[in-house]
């Protein structure tokens, strides 16, 4: 009786032992391994998300570069061919001026876009060089009609001056936001009040900062630091 009870207990003991061993093996091979696979899968997913995020940031950077490259456009076509008499910074006086008669003296603070042969009596559109607000539209001595527009360059405020404009045909009002390349108006007629008696042409000035400045010429070359050469911004377009 004791012997059979001993044998029975031994079978129970071995049953528990082998059962526990089997259960442990099962948990190790069939439970722990999927967890490792899950962690590996999660790691791969994170890496893929990182790649996707990097691609998105790269696309945003490329778009930003493209936008920065297109900050300016020429107000008149063929800027290199038209800026052929008075570029930025040239010293002008009645003796050396390419224009006769000459009424001004000093270092030129902008660039003059000349008209081509045959354009004397044609409407010549003047387009916005950049995107920004029109905040000045009046007649100014030495220019005739003048438009001032607020813009930005390299995260700094600038003012673009469009001189010798037919003020009465400007298509925008004070406070209007104008997109780059939009037609602002037309050149004034040469020898009229629209150009203050000057030839038909566009004087384009780019003033640093937010303070308006109507000087077309300065007596000292160092004072040119208050302006930017417009040709640096548009002549390569």
Q: What is the pLDDT of residues 61-104, one digit of tens each?
A: 444 444 444 589 999 999 999 999 999 999 999 999 999 999 99
pLDDT of 35: 52
Residue/partner pairs of 81-84 with CB below 8 Å, 24 or more apart = 81/116, 82/113, 82/114, 82/115, 82/116, 83/111, 83/112, 83/113, 83/114, 83/231, 83/235, 84/114
Question: Which of 16-30, 47-61, 165-179, 212-226 has the weakest average pLDDT?
Answer: 16-30
List the CATH code of the domain at 79-234: 2.70.70.10
| pLDDT the model gives residue 63 | 46
pTM here is 0.72
Pairwise pLDDT comparison (48 vs 37), residue with the higher score: 48
For residue 14, the tally of other CB atoms under 10 A from its CB is 10
Q: How far apart are alpha carbons 99 and 112 in whole angstroms? A: 11
159 and 220 Cβ atoms separated by less than 8 Å: no
């Amino acid at each position: 009786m004791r012997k059979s009870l001993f044998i029975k207990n031994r079978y129970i003991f071995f049953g528990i032992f082998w059962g526990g061993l089997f259960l442990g093996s099962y948990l190790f091979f069939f439970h722990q391994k999927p967890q490792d696979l899950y962690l590996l899968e999660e790691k791969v997913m994170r890496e893929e998300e990182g790649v996707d995020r990097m691609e998105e940031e790269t696309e945003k950077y490329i778009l930003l570069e493209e936008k920065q490259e297109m900050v300016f456009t020429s107000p008149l076509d063929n800027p290199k061919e038209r800026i052929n008499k008075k570029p930025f910074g040239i010293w002008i006086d009645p003796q050396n001026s390419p224009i006769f008669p000459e009424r001004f003296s000093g270092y030129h603070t902008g660039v003059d876009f000349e008209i081509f042969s045959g354009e004397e009596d044609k409407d010549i559109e003047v387009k916005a060089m950049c995107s920004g607000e029109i905040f000045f539209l009046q007649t100014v001595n030495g220019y005739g009609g003048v438009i001032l527009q607020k813009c930005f360059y390299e995260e700094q405020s600038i003012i673009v001056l469009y001189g010798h404009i037919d003020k009465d045909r400007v298509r925008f009002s004070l406070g209007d936001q104008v997109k780059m390349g939009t037609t602002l108006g037309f050149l004034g007629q040469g020898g009229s009040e629209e150009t203050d008696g000057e030839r038909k042409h566009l004087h384009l000035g780019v003033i640093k900062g937010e303070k308006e400045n109507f000087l077309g010429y300065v007596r000292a070359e160092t004072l040119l630091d208050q302006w930017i050469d417009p040709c640096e911004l548009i002549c390569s377009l």
